[in-house]
Amino acid sequence: MASAKTIDRFGGLVAAIAIGFSLCAAAWGQVQPPAADSVKVHDRPSDDGSAVVVEWPKPAELPENVQYVIEIARKPEDFADKKFQTIKITPSKNLLKTGREKYFGFAASNQDWYAEEVTPAEYLKPQIPWAFTAEESAHLRTVGDVAAVAGIKDALTGLEQWKSLTWCVKEGLLSEKDAQRAWLAWKLTERYAKDVTAATAEATAVQKKAEEELEQAVEARKQAQTAVSQASGPGLEQAKESLAAAVAAEARARAALRSANEAARMTGERVREGLTKSERSDVDWLGRLDSYLEQAKAKRLKKAMQEINAGTYCYRFGVRSEGGETTLVGPVGAEAVYSGRAEANLFRRYKLNNLVFALAFSGIVLTFIQIAKRNPNLYIRKIAGLEAVEEAIGRATEMGRSAYFVHGLGGVSDLATIAAINVLSRVARRAAEYDTRVRVMNWEPIVTAVSQEVVQQAYTEAGRPDAYDPDDIALVGYNQFSYAAAVAARMVREQPAAIFLIGYFLAESLLLSETGASTGAIQVAGTDSDSQLPFFITTCDYTLIGEELYAASAYLSREPRMLGSLRGQDVAKAFLMTAMVVGTIVFTMAVAFGWHVEWIKGLFEVLD
Amino acid sequence: MWYKRTIPLLIVFTIGVLAFAHNYVPLRISDQFRERLSEWFRIIGGFALFLGAYSLLHMHVSRIRKQQPGWAYSVFVFVGAAGMIIVGLLNEGYGPLRSAPVGQPTWYQWGYDYIQKPCQATIFSLLAFFMASAAFRTFRARNTSAALLLASALIVMFGRVAIFQTVSAWFGAQSSFARHADGLFSATTDAIMEYPNLAATRAILLGISLGAISQSLRILFGIERSYLGGGD
């Protein structure tokens, strides 16, 4: 028996070990923690110093039923003292570096790694100075309990407010006098809020009573109506009188409900009227102060988080099984601890291609500007719309009518508007020489001011400063359709001989150009808004399409350096066209012959 | 002359280069610079609004004084402006420095909701008529290009509205021919929009981008100075 028992016990032990092993195997799946030296913690490139990157080798298959674990602590000893934060990561395709070209580029080797971006301040949260510490909170809970028993519901909130104000004084955000005023105003606001609550409850009760009375009145009226329909003979008159009284009672009940509703809606305002003028001023001031302090606190908090992110911290890496057990990388008892620091970078590496192309195109344009200085007779292709500017102003002169210049809806910071202002300068100068009035229709005040300056200068340079009238360059509307209505109406009334619609346009483009076409004016339009181009092409005599708008000023000036920039622009365009054709051929051949040319695509990828 | 030309050009160059660099430098100071610039712009915009209002009212005063054609319409500008300013200042008895309680109807809001918005909607709705008249003028097949334009426009219109199924539904019929015809038009429409149309749009956008770079360089290096008020 004894030996049988021993065998049973031995068998049980073996079974337990076997079950333990099989459970472990099931929990771990096929995933083993990576080797300690394969895990890396480093600064996230191309950012403002807000995160580090933890990266580790990707296993052969997407792991299931496990999580990766990153532990972060301020110093190595904190791991032993359990003062660390844990980040749990479920493996997914999003962990792949290839999904984050912005930081890691387009290298094919990115497929071999998992990477997680860690912002330290999200885990090692900053101490909020105006919040209570753990000890204070514990104490206040007791105070709060006592306060609650004593019916002082706002004791805790009041203390929080007071501490916040004290902190603001210490930090120089608020003077002591203002803090005192804020404290008194806050207490007043609390009282005010209570009064509003009480008054609202009272008004709600009145509303409810009025609703009930109305229901009764409606019911009485219905009964009276039924009585009238059923009555006959002498009783009919009496029933009619009862109905008239019921209808009047219903009307009174409805009026009472309306006034109760109105009273309920105005409760806050009525209570506010009960405050003195100085108290109302204090309550309003507190509202503004709160908003200011919230902003100031948010700013401090952001700064505190930035300071935390700039620190060097310790990291451990491991794998967590489904059962909740974590196995860290490195030998048991001496797990690997990595350190990493986020640093602000001077350059967004992922925009390198963008910078190179911008500099290359700038180089081409500047080179042709230099060439144009030496050789002023550069050939520039003719742009019909710009050739027509002269014709349009000439026509206006012959007909003795004005020319209209419509800026559209762009602000002064829009390139299209700047281009339009440059064209306006040329048009105004030519118009001044021909003694033709130019009326400029503006939508935006700053554009109006700039246009006035530009036209005045153009008239002065043409030797006709006296012909300048500031009323010709006016703001005619400050809203899209008010603007469209004002401009269209003036076109119909004044019948201009030439209309220039140049700048950035939206839905008003067709309203303006179609009205202009109906007046018989010669119309020259120009915009970089590709959605409006079809409307202009349909309704205008000449249209400057996209780049021609930007070229307009240079073209009209005939100044060699400006023309050189246009030639540079055309050469850059030829380069891009060549690149597109060659790229299409190369990628088509790559598909046919199995070439790996993804890196070429990466060169032109735009990341933001 | 240096304060009218050289200093503005120096400011333009410096700010332009810094704004360009902001795109490539992730430092916090770079973002702060950008934020500060946009704050300045908003402040200047606020003051410019007074200039704009002055410009508008001055122009209409002149029109009324000189009794130019349609001067009576200018009176409406003053009636509208005065009306809105008065009800805005009175503010239902709360005055200009206090807000009326939330939810309380105000005359100012009434003016906006029941005068300005319907007027705007009216002007916007005119677009439908203008679009029809512009389309009528454009789609006349005067030459080969116009004929091609007309054909592609008809295909896109038919592809967008499922014309055959709609017409057959009027007669209570569920025709498989109509379904197939609409499917064909829809597929052709997609092909037109996704290939030739998109290619043309991208070509225009490419030109716009290069034009923008070229113009920016001319402004940055002081070659283009028209925006400073005439002259080359």
pLDDT in tens, B115-128: 999 999 999 999 99
**B contact test, residue of A380, A475, A606 with most B CBs within 10 A:** A475
What's residue A24's pLDDT? 45
Q: What are phi and psi of A606, to 5 degrees?
A: -105, 120
Which chain A residues are Cβ-neighbours of B221 within 8 angstroms? 366, 369
Q: Which domain holds residue B36?
A: 1-63
The pLDDT value given to residue A60: 80
Same domain membership, residue B80 and residue B59: no
Residue A528 pLDDT? 92
> With an 8 Å Cβ cutoff, are B217 and A362 in contact?
yes
What does the alpha-carbon distance between residue A528 and residue A503 come to, in Å, rounded to a whole number? 8
Q: Which residues of A touch B135 (CB under 8 A)?
A: 538
Bridge-partner residues for A425, per DSSP?
none
DSSP class of B197: I
* Residues of A in Cβ contact (< 8 Å) with B212: 415, 528, 550
Task: Clarify whether residues B54 and B3 are in a common domain.
Answer: yes
Residue B43 shares a structural domain with residue B8:
yes
The DSSP result for A112-131, as a single string, is: GEEEEEE-HHHHSPPP-TTS
| pLDDT average, residue stretch B3-20 | 90
- Sign for the pseudo-dihedral over CA of A212, A213, A215, A216: positive
| Whether B137 and A538 lie within 8 Å, measured CB to CB | yes
Pull the structure tokens for residue B55: 């410009």
CB contact under 8 A, B134 and A510: yes
Tokens representing A77? 């000893």
Examine residue B191 and state whether it is found in any structural domain, yes or no.
Answer: no
Bridge partners, A40 (sequence order): A55
Among A76-80, A430-434, B136-140, the minimum mean pLDDT is found in: B136-140
Q: Is residue B117 assigned to a domain?
A: yes
Residue B214 lies in a domain: no
- Given a contact cutoff of 8 angstroms between Cβ atoms, the answer to whether A192 and A275 are in contact is yes
B216 → chain A, closest CA residue: A415
Poorest-pLDDT segment among A113-122, A261-270, B182-191: A261-270
In a domain, B159, yes or no: no
Q: In what order do the strands lie in the sheet with A498-504?
A: A473-475, A438-442, A403-408, A498-504, A522-527, A542-545
In this structure, of A87-91, A131-135, B175-179, the range with the lowest mean pLDDT score is A131-135
Distance CA A127, CA A133 (A): 9
B229 pLDDT band, cuts 50/70/90, is low
Residues 6+ apart with CB under 8 A from A115: A53, A54, A55, A95, A96, A97, A100, A104
Quick check: B70 and A493 in contact, CB under 8 A?
yes
Handedness of CA A181, A183, A189, A192 (dihedral sign): negative
Shortest distance, CA A547 to any CA of chain B (angstroms)? 4
With 60 as the cut, is the pLDDT of residue A22 above it?
Answer: no
Domain boundary among B108, B138, B168: B138
Cβ atoms of residues A292 and A299 within 8 Å: no
What is the value of pTM for the model shown? 0.74
Q: Using the beta-carbon criterion (under 8 Å), do A346 and B31 form an inter-chain contact?
A: no
A319 closest CA partner among A66, A41, A63, A60: A66
Q: What is the DSSP letter of A476?
A: -
Q: Is residue B186 part of a domain?
A: no
CA A557, A562, A564, A570 dihedral sign is: negative
Nearest CA in chain B to A302: B28
Number of domains in chain B: 2
Residue A404 vs residue B168, higher pLDDT:
A404
Identify whether the C-beta of residue A130 lies closer than 8 Å to the C-beta of residue A297: yes
- DSSP code, position A344: B
- Checking if the pLDDT of A512 tops 50, the result is yes
How far off is chain B from A422, nearest CA to CA, in Å? 5
Residue of B123, B216, B223 lying closest to A484 (CB–CB) = B123
| Domain's final residue, options B63, B86, B109 | B63
For residue A120, the tally of other CB atoms under 10 A from its CB is 24
Q: What is the pLDDT of residue A26?
A: 43
B218 Rama sector, left if φ>0, alpha if ψ -120 to 50, beta otherwise: alpha
Q: Strand runs (DSSP E) across A354-497, as ranges?
A: 403-408, 438-442, 473-475
pLDDT of residue A21: 43
Q: Is there a contact between A565 and B103 if contact means CB atoms under 8 Å apart?
A: no
Could you give the C-alpha distances from A512 to A467, A516, A525, A536, B77, in angstroms and in order?
Answer: 27, 6, 11, 10, 21
Give yes or no: residues B133 and B105 share one domain.
yes
For position B199, what pLDDT does the model report?
92
Residue A445: burial class (beta carbons within 10 Å; 0-12, 13-18, 19+) = buried
Which percentage of chain B shows pLDDT scores above 90?
Answer: 54
CA angle A120, A122, A128 (to 5 degrees): 105
Statement to judge: residues B41 and B87 lie in one domain: no
Mean of the pLDDT values across residues A304-310?
91
Contacts of B229 in chain A (CB under 8 A): 425, 453-454, 456-458
- Chain centroid, CA B83 distance in Å: 28
Tell me: do B75 and B131 sit in the same domain. Answer: yes
Task: Classify residue B105: in a domain, yes or no.
Answer: yes
Same domain, B75 and B59: no
Which one is predicted more confidently, B148 or A150? B148
What percent of chain A clears pLDDT 90, i.e. is strictly above it? 47
Q: What is the per-residue pLDDT for A561?
A: 87
Check residue A149 and give its pLDDT. 53
Single out the residue of A44, A575, A45 nearest to residue B213, CA to CA: A575
Chain A residue with minimal CA distance to B127? A511
| Dihedral sign (CA A79, A83, A84, A86) | positive
Q: What is the mean pLDDT of chain A?
A: 85
To the nearest whole Å, the CA of A566 is away from the closest chain B CA by 7
d(CA A142, CA B43): 51
H or E stretch at A56: strand A52-57
* Same structural domain, B53 and B103: no
- Rounded to an integer, the average pLDDT of B104-122 is 91
Decide which of B17 and A109 is more confident: B17
Q: How many helices (H) and strands (E) does chain A have?
A: 20, 14
Residues A254 and A221: beta-carbon distance below 8 Å: no
* 3-class secondary-structure state, position A569: helix
Residue range A431-446: mean pLDDT, rounded: 93
Cα separation of A132 and A141, whole Å?
11
Q: Is A478 in Cβ contact with B127 (below 8 Å)? A: no
Examine the domain organization and report whether B123 and B98 are in the same domain.
Answer: yes
Shared domain for B80 and B119, answered yes or no, is: yes
Spell A272-289 as b/e; 16+ CB within 10 A means b.
beebeeebbebbeebeeb
Neighbours of A366 (CB within 10 A): 16
Please indicate, yes or no, if residue B84 is contained in any of the structural domains: yes
CA distance B9 to chain A (A): 15
Say how far apart CA B218 and CA A136 lie, in whole Å: 64
* Most trustworthy range by pLDDT among A204-208, A329-333, A379-383: A204-208
Verify whether the Cβ–Cβ distance A425 to B230 is below 8 Å.
yes
Flag whether pLDDT at A137 surpasses 70: no
A404-423 mean pLDDT: 92
| Distance from C-alpha of A478 to C-alpha of B48, rounded to nearest angstrom | 12
Lowest mean pLDDT among A128-137, A182-191, A405-414, B73-82: A128-137
Facing A265 at nearest CB: one of B103, B124, B224: B103
Residue B162 lies in a domain: no
Final residue before a domain boundary, out of B94, B122, B138? B138
Query: Residue A6's pLDDT is what?
Result: 44
Q: Which amino acid is at A15?
A: A
Question: In this structure, are B90 and B124 located in the same domain?
Answer: yes
Smallest CA–CA distance from A356 into chain B, residue: B24
In chain B, whose CA is at the least distance from the CA of A459? Answer: B230
Q: What does the radius of gyration of chain B's CA atoms come to, in whole angstroms?
A: 28
pLDDT at A27 over 70: no
Judge residue A236's burial from the number of C-beta atoms within 10 Å of its C-beta, 0-12 exposed, 13-18 middle, 19 or more buried: middle
**B215 vs A361: CB contact, 8 Å cut-off?**
no
- Alpha helices per DSSP H over A400-443: 415-434
* More confident of the two residues A267 and A319: A319
Task: Supply the pLDDT for residue A31.
Answer: 61
The reported pLDDT for the residue numbered A560 is 87
pLDDT band at A315 (very low <50, low <70, confident <90, very high): very high
Whether the predicted pLDDT of A519 surpasses 50: yes
Residue A186, SS3 per DSSP: helix
Which residues from chain B sit within 8 angstroms of residue A102, using beta carbons? none
Q: Is the dihedral of CA A456, A462, A464, A465 positive or negative?
A: positive
Q: B110 vs chain A: nearest CA distance in angstroms?
A: 18
Interatomic CA distance for residues A17 and A27, integer angstroms:
15
Separation CA B182–CA B166 (nearest Å): 10
CA nearest neighbour of A54 among A124, A125, A120: A120
End-to-end CA distance of chain A: 79
Q: What residues of chain A lie within 8 A of the CB of B49, using their CB?
A: 445
Q: CA nearest A482 in B: which residue?
A: B120
| Closest approach of A506 to chain B, Cα-based (Å) | 11
> Which residues from chain A sit within 8 angstroms of residue B23, using beta carbons?
348, 351, 354
Q: A154-182 pLDDT, tens per residue?
A: 555 666 777 777 777 877 778 888 888 88
Tens digits of residue pLDDT in A477-500: 989 999 999 999 999 999 999 999
Q: Are residues B101 and B120 in the same domain?
A: yes
**CB-CB under 8 Å, B226 with A425:** yes
Q: Tell me the one-letter amino acid at A608.
A: D
